[in-house]
Amino acid sequence: MADETTQSETGAPMPKRALDWTLRVWRPAGTVVAVGLALLLTWHVINGEHGLSVWHKKRAEDLQLQREIKDLEQENAQLRERIERLKSDPEAIEHEAREKLHYAKPGEVIVALPSDGAGK
């Protein structure tokens, strides 16, 4: 008679029924949770604080800064070369004085022409 009280109308014992119910309900629920976590992780890898989209932006910024550094190094080299010419070449010193300071040799006349913006 004890067997009759623990069995349901289907004839299966109560622990077996509970196990069947657990497998029917919790396994799909666990699958849904696992898929949801996987999707969340994928979204975080792509769009997170250190994700792929940020990495692409930083990479583009790095390339642009590398170009700027290269340009500035070239400009710096040109300026150093100009400084060395001004230190040692009298013709470079004379050319600079004539261009920047409007110096003239004795007997020369300097004629200043209006710039493009002054005549308008």
Structural domains in the chain (count): 2
Confidence bin at 48 (pLDDT 50/70/90):
confident
Question: What is the pLDDT at residue 77?
Answer: 98
Domain assignment of residue 89, yes or no? yes
Report the distance separating Cα 26 and Cα 22, nearest Å.
5
Per-residue pLDDT for 36 more than 70?
yes
Q: What is the pTM of this model?
A: 0.49
- The tens digit of pLDDT for each residue in 57-83 reads 999 999 999 999 999 999 999 999 999
Asked if residue 60 and residue 98 are part of one domain, the reply reads yes
Both tokens of 114, joined, read 């209006």
Domain assignment of residue 68, yes or no? yes
Domain assignment of residue 20, yes or no? yes
Per-residue pLDDT for 110 more than 90?
no
Q: Print the domain residue range for 100.
A: 50-108
89: three-class secondary structure by DSSP? coil
Domain assignment of residue 114, yes or no? no
Q: Residue 9: left if φ>0, alpha if ψ -120 to 50, beta else—which one? A: alpha
Asked if residue 26 and residue 54 are part of one domain, the reply reads no
